[in-house]
Every structure is written in structure tokens, then in C-alpha cells.
Chains A and B, each alone.
Chain A
């Protein structure tokens, strides 16, 4: 069942270099990269993609897992691509009835889907190498200036980290539900796509019921251990940014910015 292959948001406990980098640096780099990705045009985008993949490979990230993450969003990418090539005005390259593919459409389609792909890779790399609580710590630390604007950062980061923690649980739960329905005669293996969709949809409701129930229990357990939303929390292993990782991150960001200027 394809559901089990979704790896976005799943932390991977392998000892890659990126695991040891301070979450704040990783978050900062991802944010910067995201902004840049939307600024890049064709060639810079490719150059950035190449740099990113090389960096991840060098740091020891299993690229196969990342590729798996892409597999689960191919639908979004494909739909984006289709919308672009068919709906953008420009010089027509090919048409069939009232559907026509334009040159600008094709270019835009590739660009936009390329961007989505890269964003997915960035996000996967981030979540694969940063456990949810650390991510929340990093977020909280970076957002601290926002506290002056009365933004409830503690609450935001708590919701964020609990959501991330629950992604594997959601997957687990959905596969259980699927099996239970199969045992009652539901047909998830039928070639009839419509039948499959019809049988899968009802699974969504109990899925969320269970997940909310579990999230509630987790919140209670955290409460019982004096969790106050991150304010005033100290750490067993305090976050500390070392010169080496700061340098690495800075280099990455600067290189990404430089890429903008590739003609």
C-alpha cells in the first residue's frame, strides 16, 4: 500500500553529518533556500539542484529515501505540470481539440514542478535529519524576537512538533484500518480505481479520530511532566552553534545566492 512509502516528516536515525548540525542553522538554510528557489529561473534552478544533491550525498543522506518521498508527491507535481502546460498562453506547440500546449506553458511547467521537487527534497532532508523536538526547539529559538509582537511562539512550536511526531503514527494507523476493512471484504487490490477510492475515503475519518485521541493522550502526558509550552525550558544537551557548522551553512547560503546571478 503506497501509504507506507511516504517518508516526508519521518525522522531517520542514521548518523549523517547533517544530524549533528544545529537545528537553527538548518532551519535558516531551508528558509533562505526556499525563498531563493522561487527567484531562480531555469539554469540557476538546475545548478542549485545539483549543488543540493551533492551536498546531501556528501553528508551521507540516503538519497533513495529522499527519492521515495518524491514518489508520494508525484501527483501534485504532475497536476502542477499539467495545469501550467495547458493553461498558459503563448506560442502553441501542439494541440488536440481545445487543449493546447504552449512553449511558455512548457517552460513554466518544468520550472514550477522543478521548484516543487526541490522543496520536497529540502523538507525531507530537514525532517529526516532533525528530530521533531529539536526542530521545535530551533523554531522556538529563532522565533523568539517575534514574542515582542505577542506571537504565541510556544504554542506554535508545540503544535508543530506534535504534528511531526504523529506522521508515522498516522501512517501506522491508516495501514491498520485498511487491513481491518480488507478483513471485512473491502477490496483495496481491485483494478477498479473508483472502487479503491470509494473504499479508502471512509478510512480517513476514523484515522483522524484515533490520531486526535492519541495526540490528546500525549498532551496529557506532557502536561503531567510540567510541560509549559517551552518557556524557560533548559536542555540536557543545550543547543550550541559551532564554528564549523556555522561556516558550512554560511557557505551553502552564499553559494545559493550566488547562483541567482548565473545568466
Chain B
């Protein structure tokens, strides 16, 4: 089995993507055009049913475009012969830690992907060790995945994706079911991977995670309704609420402060930044 392991500098390009679920009355995605770059983290936000999960699944060929095209690292996802290569370059982790585990031990779990790629045993070994180290879970190698905490399971799932040596990692709400400290570890791992050159696309409910991203895309009813830096998209609580999202507390307080005659810069999104302004 020949697998192309050369690094590809191309991004994920989406042109005019429309997708309708079978039996659904209206499209889940309507004429979406976007681009995702390697080395950057993008958060996808939107209310339930906005299409963000659907979009995530179009990126690695899990779902094929109804209309338009998705070019993942230069490969058309609608071309079935690209399926293997696309899933190698665009890895994915999902929301539920429990329904992703297949392996008997953590290291076999992480080896699952490379095994499917038909790589020689020695290379599988290397990749597994590398992935475990990146995810910071080397000490869990011999443990049974289903006996770990939810947060640890997600780290194992991400390690499994890292072992594919992908150019992009798509997280379909990988943090939604985790508690705060587990979420922190996952997002920190995403950051580490991003710095190493991977493109991260993270679908999330938590606006605080979005403040750490390079760019934010907000979907509503299958359309892109906002995109830009976190500052641009999340600074105005009224707009954020209209998109069906829970505005950041800091932005609401900033908005109230305006009524008192103070102008808080729109790029203040965290408690730290607000306090810095206060005590300046």
C-alpha cells in the first residue's frame, strides 16, 4: 500500500459548498466559501443546528458536498479515490470520548490509524511513541482506554489523530463533554500542535476557547454570518446574542461601562484584559 507522506503546503479550500441531509427539507450548509490555513487555529461557532458540525465533517470527506467543492490539501473530497489520502491529511476527533475507542490498550488505540494505513511495524511504533509524547500521555500507554477519565480519553483520541501525521486536525466539539481542567489540556494540546504547523479547526460551544483562536467563523442556519479575528467577531454582545451565542461576560460588562461614559477597547475579551484596563 503506497501512502504519500510528503508534506503538502496547501490549505483546505471550500467553494460554494452546499449540503443537504437525506430527507431534510432544507440544506444544512448553503453556498459556503472558506479557507483554512495550516499553522492557524480557527474556531467554528454557532447555535445548535447552525451547520458547524456538518461543515466539520465535510472537511475530511466524511460527508461529500452536494454542490460546490471541498479541496483538502489539494485533493477533491468528492473524488472517492482520494478518501484514504484525505483522511490521512485531515484527521478528526469527536465529541464523545467513549464512542471513539477501539483499542485494547492506549498504545494499540493510537496505533489503529497507522495500522489502517498499512505502515510497517517499526514505523507504527515510532508514530505511536511520538503521538503519545506530543499529547503528554506516554505514561498511559499500557492502560485500557475505557478506564481513563473523559479528559484522558480525548487526549488519547487526539494522539490517535496525531499518529496519522495529518496537516489538519478537526475537532467536532471535542471539548463539549469535558470539565474545565480537561478542556484546558485539550486546548493547550491544540495550541502545541498549531505551533508545530498543524491547522486546527475547532468546533466549540465555549466562547472562551474562541478567544484563543487566530480566527473565528460563526455559522447560522447554514450560512457564514461572521468571520474574522476573535476581537472582530465576539466584541459586541448584542451581535453575539443575535447569533444565538452566549456573549462573554466581559463584553457585557464593557457594554454597560459604556453607559457610564467609559469606552472599553473592543479587543478586551478576558477578565485579565478588563482588569488591566481598569487599573491602568
Contact = CB atoms under 8 A, between A and B. Distances in A.
A133 B121 contact: no
Interface of A is mostly: loop
Given A224-B60, A228-B84, A133 B116 contact: no
B94 A217 contact: yes
Interface of A: 11, 13, 131, 133-134, 165, 214, 217-218, 220-228, 232-238
Contacts of B87: 223-226
A221 B103 contact: no
In the A-B complex, the 7 residue pairs with the smallest Cβ-Cβ separation, listed nearest first, are A236-B111, A217-B99, A225-B113, A131-B104, A226-B116, A221-B100, A224-B92
Nearest to B60: A224
Interface in B95-127: 96, 98-100, 102-104, 107-108, 111-121, 124-125
Contacts of B24: none
A218 B117 CA distance: 18
B118 A234 contact: yes
A218 B113 contact: no
Contacts of B125: 236
Interface string B150-184: 00000001001100100000000000000000000
Contact of B107 (A165, A220, A221, A236): A236
Main secondary structure of the interface of B (DSSP, over half): helix
Interface of B: 1, 60, 62, 84, 87-88, 91-92, 94, 96, 98-100, 102-104, 107-108, 111-121, 124-125, 128, 144, 157, 160-161, 164
B99 A236 contact: no
B99 A228 contact: no
12 contacts: A133-B103, A217-B96, A218-B99, A221-B100, A222-B112, A225-B87, A225-B112, A233-B116, A233-B118, A234-B115, A236-B107, A236-B114
A133 B145 CA distance: 14
B36 to A, nearest CB: 17
Given A134-B104, A224-B62, A226-B84, A236 B116 contact: no
Nearest to B96: A217
A214 B117 CA distance: 25
Given A223-B62, A224-B91, A225-B164, A234 B100 contact: no
Contacts of B104: 11, 131, 133-134
Contacts of B160: 225
Contacts of A134: 104
